Amino acid sequence: MALADDLLEQAKFLSIREVGRGRPRQASLRRAVSTAYYAVFHLLGVEAASQASPIRPRGLQDRIQRALTHETMRQAANAFRSTSLPDYVASFVHQPIPSEIVDIAKNFVLLQEARHKADYDLAEQFDRTTVQGLVNNAEQVFRLWDRVRNTDDARVFLASLMFWKLWSK
Amino acid sequence: MRVAATHGLSPITRMYYTSHMARTATNRPIQLQPGPRIAAQGHYGPLEIVQVDLATRGTTFRATSPEGPIGPETFLPFSMISPLSKEDNHLFWQMLTQKLIEELRDEGKLPKFYKTFSITTGEDSTGDPAIYVKLFVDAPKGAARDSTVARWNEFARLVQDRLLQLRLPRQPYVFLGAA
């Protein structure tokens, strides 16, 4: 099983941990949110790296994946979620952008924002409903990605996640 | 205390103020909740929003005095107004979200499990202005079923989509919460 799938499974486990034992611990809920985001991050990261790099030499794809940054991926996803792509990207994708890609982008942005709160904002209190919702968002990304991963639009999306800042050159 | 004087106002404005009035034991309207105070390009003096309109992505406002709203109603897009204080800012976004919820109710798209919402404004993790909307749903004790969570999320996505369509000056983030 791939790392992304394992992370999703762990996020789900943490989101429903401590059921029937009073209020769930904030640590479990926060880790669930963070893990749900990283499940999606690695799902898309592996796909972006495999698109950008040959399989050999061994380890090269892993190294390429390290080039992905949360910030760049967020910027690209934000543009897809608001369907406001610059011309040099828009010319490569179908219009309107397939709803699956837009929904993946929306969920990515939402999960990254939630992950930031879960990892750093101690003033934020999470409840199980919020967290189950976010894990469900991550699951939806996996399902949607399965549907579109072999399309040209998905390839442009992956390239955007990796090269967003460089594409405007 | 501000005395409500709704005569002479347009039906829409009157409806807004009436909905915000408190009533005494004799059912006499005595007070109204002031709308968010704003600064608006090309307008001077104390201004107060009386209505937000999602279809045109703008606000109707008018000058205000201690006795209540005065002067004609004026319309400007969201992008051309700015709430005066933190409280006004909160009130404005609260008003906008409430309007969105009312529209969904009118369209028959407000599910039974939805109870209420809360909003927070601030900066998101990238430093952009953001609005966080939390939709409180009727959640069971313990964990909810996957199919239930999926239905909640469908509604959350609908609200987020509507907010995104408005192309607001704040990034919208919609989360669920237990009522």
Domain boundaries, chain A: 3-167
Sign of the alpha-carbon dihedral angle for B139, B140, B141, B143? negative
Put simply, whether B144 touches A (Cβ < 8 Å) is yes
pLDDT at res. A20: 80
Q: Which residues of B touch A16 (CB under 8 A)?
A: 143
**Residue A81 corresponds to which tokens in the numbers above?**
């979620």
- Determine the distance in angstroms separating the CA of A113 from the nearest CA of chain B, rounded to an integer: 6
Dihedral angle of Cα B76, B78, B80, B81, to the nearest 10 degrees = 90
**Residue B4 pLDDT exceeds 70:** no
Angle between helical axes of A26-52 and A3-15 (0-180°, round to 10): 160
* Max CA separation in chain B (angstroms): 54
State the Cα–Cα distance between residues A164 and A78, nearest whole angstrom: 11
Mean pLDDT, rounded, for B47-76:
90
CB contact under 8 A, A112 and B144: no
Burial class of B3 by CB neighbour count within 10 A (0 to 12, 13 to 18, 19+): exposed
pLDDT at res. A1: 63
Helix or strand or coil: residue A1?
Answer: coil
Interface A-B: count of C-beta contacts within 8 A: 66
Among B124, B153, B164, beta carbon nearest to A136: B153
CB contact under 8 A, A136 and B126: no
String of DSSP letters for B104-165: HHHTT---TTEEEEEEEEEE-TTS-EEEEEEEEE-PPSSPPPHHHHHHHHHHHHHHHHHHHH
> The whole model's pTM is what?
0.87
**Residue B17 pLDDT exceeds 80:** no
Band (pLDDT 50/70/90 cuts) for residue B1 is very low
CA-nearest residue of chain A to B139?
A129
Least confident interval from A11-20, B61-70, B113-122, B136-145: B61-70
Put simply, whether B151 touches A (Cβ < 8 Å) is no
- Determine the distance in angstroms separating the CA of B93 from the nearest CA of chain A, rounded to an integer: 19
**Residue A93 pLDDT exceeds 80:** yes
State the Cα–Cα distance between residues A72 and A166, nearest whole angstrom: 10
pLDDT at res. A123: 94
Q: Which residues of B touch A14 (CB under 8 A)?
A: none
Mean pLDDT, rounded, for A17-46:
94
The residues of chain B that CATH labels 3.30.300 are 85-179
pLDDT at res. A167: 82
Residue B104: closest CA among B52, B57, B54, B151: B54
**Residue B2 pLDDT exceeds 60:** no
pLDDT one-digit tens code per residue, B128-137: 999 999 999 9
- pLDDT above 90 covers what percent of chain A? 90
**Residue B27 pLDDT exceeds 50:** no
CB contact under 8 A, A132 and B143: yes
Q: Which residues of B touch A127 (CB under 8 A)?
A: 177-178
pLDDT one-digit tens code per residue, B62-104: 998 888 778 899 999 998 999 999 999 999 999 999 999 999 9
Report the top-level CATH class of B85-179. Answer: alpha beta
